């Protein structure tokens, strides 16, 4: 039984990954915007919930530390890490404001926000994406399913065409690592 499960999951994973080529123009555009932000003295801010919060932290860590190449650190902040700010904002305002409030404090013109949501409907990520235009920032979203409510309101939506959360997350981490590799070659 576990052997068949392995093949079933591998087949489903492969089918999701086969569809990623459709996202290549958007993946490359997002990488250009990230490179422009970093080269212009901006930073990349990242947010998400649950597994997407972990991906946000992982991506920010790769940018500040390194991915594969020795280089200077790049400014990146995961808005998911400051539990005092998250709980204070959630308590005093609402959970929907935990990222947008931090973005107001930390974001500036020329920065880029990457919002990650496997459903495309995370209200706090949506609120942060909406905040980008007021701050003159680019808002990029890494999404799943049909892009949900976030897809239509961001500057660039990369929607992994799958309804299976695990497959969306697997594709997201691949895209995040691809961005790291591209940035290390071109910034």
Q: What CATH number should be reported for the domain holding residue 83? A: 3.40.50.10490
Using CA atoms, how far apart are residues 25 and 28, in angstroms rounded to an integer? Answer: 5
Q: Is the pLDDT of residue 181 over 70?
A: yes
| pLDDT value at residue 2 | 86
Residue 171 main-chain phi, psi, to 5 deg: -70, -40
What percentage of the chain carries pLDDT values higher than 90?
A: 97
Q: How confident is the model at residue 94 (pLDDT cuts 50, 70, 90)?
A: very high
Domain span at residue 172? 2-186
Q: Is the pLDDT of residue 64 over 80?
A: yes
Task: Compute, in degrees rounded to 10, the torsion defined by CA atoms 153, 147, 114, 56.
Answer: 150
Cβ atoms of residues 175 and 24 within 8 Å:
no
Instruction: State the sign of the Cα–Cα–Cα–Cα dihedral 48, 150, 128, 38.
Output: positive
Contacts of 58 (CB under 8 A, 6+ apart): 173, 176
Q: How confident is the model at residue 187 (pLDDT cuts 50, 70, 90)?
A: confident
Give the mean pLDDT of the chain: 97
Using CA atoms, how far apart are residues 183 and 69, in angstroms rounded to an integer? Answer: 10
Using CA atoms, how far apart are residues 138 and 144, in angstroms rounded to an integer? Answer: 20
Across the range 69-81, mean pLDDT stands at 97
Using CA atoms, how far apart are residues 17 and 126, in angstroms rounded to an integer? Answer: 26
Considering all CA atoms of the chain, what is the largest pairwise distance in Å, rounded to the nearest integer? 54
SS3 track for 28-74 = HHHHHHHHHHHHCCCCEEEECCCHHHHHHHHHHHHHHCCCCCCCCCC
Helices and strands in the chain: count of H runs, count of E runs = 7, 5
Q: What share of the chain is helix, strand, coil (3-state, %, to 5)?
A: 60, 15, 30
Using CA atoms, how far apart are residues 98 and 106, in angstroms rounded to an integer? Answer: 13
How many domains, in total, are found in the chain?
1
């Amino acid at each position: 039984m576990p052997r068949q499960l392995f093949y079933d999951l591998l087949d489903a994973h492969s089918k999701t990954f086969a569809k990623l080529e459709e996202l290549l123009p958007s993946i490359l555009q997002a990488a250009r915007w990230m490179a422009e932000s970093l080269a212009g003295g901006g930073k990349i801010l990242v947010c998400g919930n649950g597994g997407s919060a972990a991906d946000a932290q992982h991506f920010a860590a790769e940018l500040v530390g390194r991915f594969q190449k020795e280089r200077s650190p790049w400014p990146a902040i995961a808005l998911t890490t400051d539990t005092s700010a998250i709980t204070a904002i959630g308590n005093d305002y609402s959970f929907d404001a935990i990222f947008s409030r931090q973005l107001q404090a930390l974001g500036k013109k020329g920065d880029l926000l990457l919002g990650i949501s496997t459903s495309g409907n995370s209200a706090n990520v949506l609120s942060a994406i909406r905040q980008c235009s007021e701050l003159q920032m680019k808002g990029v979203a890494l999404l799943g399913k049909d892009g949900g409510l976030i897809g239509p309101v961001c500057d660039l939506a990369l929607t992994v065409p799958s309804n299976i959360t695990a497959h969306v997350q697997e594709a997201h981490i691949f895209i995040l690592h691809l961005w790291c590799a591209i940035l290390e070659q071109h910034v």
